[in-house]
Structure 1
């Protein structure tokens, strides 16, 4: 195909069918702004990860691309250009009323984004982020100082563990901001801050996080795509995941462990939910180490790979040495380890769960028929809170706004909330805004619905 070719839409959609059918040699295409790009050879080298770009094969990826990429990505994309969609393919087909509303909603959100860009709403405040970084580092320094001066006191060690746990959580929110390029226009400057705050301070790998998080944003709450809802066999969040997990046991009849989990654990997940999320921070830290030292940097850069691994090693060296040097007893060392890890586990997981858990989970077929911006709204939950809640949640209580505009600095999300909410109301798009207590209850209700289904399936199978 030449660069001036007209590419029929059927060529693009057929590439999705071939991909789903597992045809390895089939060409893969995406559409961005009515231009067709062949990404067959580029997928493996995609700087944002293989999984995220694979979710867009055979689709119009315009909104995802604009929301998730810096300006420099447009030049890289141009290397894959093979032609334009034909005029008849680019035209909007006749739609039913609901689909028409979704299309109009998407068009208005795009127009709003352009308006907000012109107003500078996507420019991060350097003063705000300087304050956030310095104030967060002050929390960490406080925890270290408490151990240095009071490591012989059990109560001081306990308090230091709580402070350290909060420090890690706040580092996570800041690393998230920089990872979405909210603070600086310079892509590499953001990555350095993620490596420092996420890797050195918090112990999470930049590449591990981006590999998961980019896919989550591109295909939010889509069954089989979104890694954030794929938490089996520890927790099941929806009926589709439950059916998939129990269905997989048909091929594992000799697996005593899987059967035990299915029969005796998952039907009671609301009972152990608040216990297991305490281990979230430690689990993610271990996954980060494994990913960094086995897979390496997401963009395959040797320098980024070295930076990430160095930051992770330095994190654990500092954490371990400070613990061993300044805590006077082994029991207090163990307490510091458990409490600091669990504090961050709860402080992160409770926020993450409220973002999307208990909200609609879509099949891949449903998602293909919906506007990207509609998916972002209907699968997310906003939590209305005061300034202290905004601080604790790291701005992620504006989850709908964040998913519609992931590269918008968190300090501007409250300003656009009324506009997004009004557009959702205008086009009859679900916009769920609730309190922290109600959101937590909704999460537990979702777990309860699934655990009852798990109980019925386990009785039927075993």
Structure 2
């Protein structure tokens, strides 16, 4: 009798199910590897230093004022064309031109925040407030805050903020483990390659919001340089939005204003985002802890 009870208990308590293991290579998907020996790493570093010194000696990294002046003038001319088209009643072409100008200005703030033009960093910053805050609506200081972190640890998982797109997108397989237990997101992620393209235009909207939030808090920022530059950033960003609202004011109806705003902003965002996609997310990522 006792033996029968034991047999029944054995059958009613089956062994716990084994955890499903990831398929081989799962963690390596879209991931690069640091597979250099110490000697190879030293050799490559030495050769790169030699190349860097040679490039600088030949002046290949020196900013050319005519080039930068031409690019800024081109952006201003596109904005001027947008205004002319608006006056003549061609509202959609005008909005598309404005979006194109904002995309081109995105590269200009990138170059000036990297101090590519002038040897004097102060003048690079001054121009960045013009092409960035005033014309583009992007905070120069906010751009540096985010973009410098990206360059300090480019495509390093957990350190490069540009890779952190959860919960809407998983850029590496390890992101999926962070989403375990979130049933709704797991139902959505398999289709990220589809809705990614539809979300590209909203990159500009995201950066505009981030710029406003960053500039509004610059007075109490941890870094002194941002506290000192708070006023000029706040003024130039305010002028940008005043000009945007003024332009919308001269449109005939509320519906046209909303349409113009969305077309110009989203088109500019799409032009920016598709370049960012190819440059950032199509390349290998790297683990935050590695050994040579």
Scaled by the length of structure 2, the TM-score of the pair is 0.83
Give, in whole Å, the separation in 1 of the partners of 2:285 and 2:278: 14
Match of 2:193 in 1: 270
Q: Structure 2: how far apart are the matches of 1:208 and 1:234?
A: 23
**Structure 1 residue runs without a partner (length 5+):** 1-95, 250-257, 371-462
Q: Distance in 2 between matches of 1:175 and 1:286?
A: 17
1:110-169 Cα distance to aligned partner (Å, 9 max, x none): 11111111111121111111111111111112112222x22xx3xx11001100001001
1:342 shift after superposition: 1.0
The Cα shift of 1:102 comes to 2.6
d(CA) in 2 for partners of 1:285, 1:97: 41
Distance in 2, Cα, partners of 1:97 & 1:353: 28
What's the CA shift string for 1:161-217, capped at 9, x where partnerless? 100001001011011011111100010100111111111111011111111100110
1:305 is the counterpart of 2:230: yes
- Distance in 2 between residues matched to 1:234 and 1:222, nearest whole Å: 19
Match of 1:118 among 42, 57, 74: 57
Structure with more of its chain in strand, by fraction: 1
- Report if aligned partners of 2:179, 2:186 keep a CA contact under 8 Å in 1: no
**Contact in 2 for aligned 1:161/1:340 (Cα 8 Å):** yes
Provide Cα deviations, 1:310-337, integer angstroms capped at 9, x if missing partner: 1111111100111112x11222111111
Specify the alignment match of 1:363 in structure 2: 287
| Residue aligned with 1:364, SS | coil
- TM-superposed CA distance for 1:303, in Å, is 4.2
1:276 Cα shift? 1.0
Residue deviations 1:412-453, cap 9 Å, x none? xxxxxxxxxxxxxxxxxxxxxxxxxxxxxxxxxxxxxxxxxx
Higher Rg of the two aligned structures: 2
Which residue is equivalent to 2:208? 285
Contact 1:171 1:197 in 2 (8 A): yes
CA deviations on 1:78-122 (whole Å, 9 max, x unpaired) are: xxxxxxxxxxxxxxxxxx964422321111111111111111112
The answer (yes or no) to whether the contact 1:205–1:292 under 8 Å persists in 2 is yes
CA contact (8 A) 1:124 1:182 kept: yes
Quote the residue 1:182 is aligned against: 116
Alpha carbons of structure 1 residues 183 and 358: separation in structure 2 relative to 1, 3 Å: same
Matched residues, number: 256
Q: Which residue of 1 aligns with 2:267?
A: 343
Residue 7 of structure 2: aligned partner: none
Aligned-residue Cα RMSD (Å) equals 1.8
In the alignment, is residue 135 of structure 1 matched against residue 135 of structure 2?
no
Distance 2:107 2:191 in 1: 31
CA distance in 2, matches of 1:141, 1:299: 37
Q: Which residue of 2 aligns with 1:328?
A: 252
Alignment deviations for residues 15-63 of structure 1 (CA, whole Å, 9 cap, x no partner): xxxxxxxxxxxxxxxxxxxxxxxxxxxxxxxxxxxxxxxxxxxxxxxxx
Asked if 1 retains the 8 angstrom alpha-carbon contact of 2:103 and 2:271, the reply is: yes
**Are the counterparts in 1 of residues 78 and 101 from structure 2 also a CA contact under 8 Å?**
yes
Q: In 1, Cα distance between the equivalents of 2:278 and 2:186?
A: 27
Give matches, 1:55-454, under 5 Å: 98-147=37-86, 149-150=87-88, 153=89, 156-243=90-177, 245-247=178-180, 249=181, 259-260=183-184, 262-296=185-219, 299-325=224-250, 327-366=251-290, 369=291
